Amino acid sequence: MSADAIATRIAALGPQIAAGIAPGQLTVIGVLRGAFIFMADLVRAIPRPMRCDFLGVRSYGDATVSSGIVEITSDLLLPIEGEHVLLVEDIVDTGLTLKYLADILAARHPASVSVCALLSKPSRRKVEVQLDYVGFEVPDQFVVGYGLDAAQQWRHLPYIGVME
């Protein structure tokens, strides 16, 4: 996926998100580390005021397949009770991490939780999850670049490529 294709899709997602989330305080939460580049570009494309925060999670370690065990490595700094939350993920494959995060956020009583994923890999789903905004659907291949990594490498690429 080229850098131009990614930029074009993000430019379209921003106004959709602004129109789709009810008025009120918006807090955009990026899932570290993979979503940080996507989130930086996405928040600039959303034409409304917002706050930003981050959740650090780990489920892959240095592997190319999720362990299925989600570990919070860094929690939110901001309260989200009564606020509209946009959770920003780099990729959703099994859905296990997203389900875990959605449950954690719901327990904090936000007004709403919406999810935006740069990439969705529906062929790998183990649990059903709600994706409100999706950049691209991808086949069952291990992808890197634009924030996505393999053992903490390749995040810096301006495009998304397949690991051979």
| Residues recognised as catalytic | 93
DSSP letter at 70 equals -
* Cβ-based burial of 106 (10 A; exposed 0-12, middle 13-18, buried ≥19): exposed
Rg (CA), the chain: 15
3-class DSSP state of 162:
strand
The alpha carbon of residue 136 and the mean position of all alpha carbons in its chain are separated, in whole angstroms, by: 12
3-state DSSP: the chain helix, strand, coil percent, rounded to 5? 25, 30, 45
User: Two tokens at 116?
Assistant: 């935006």
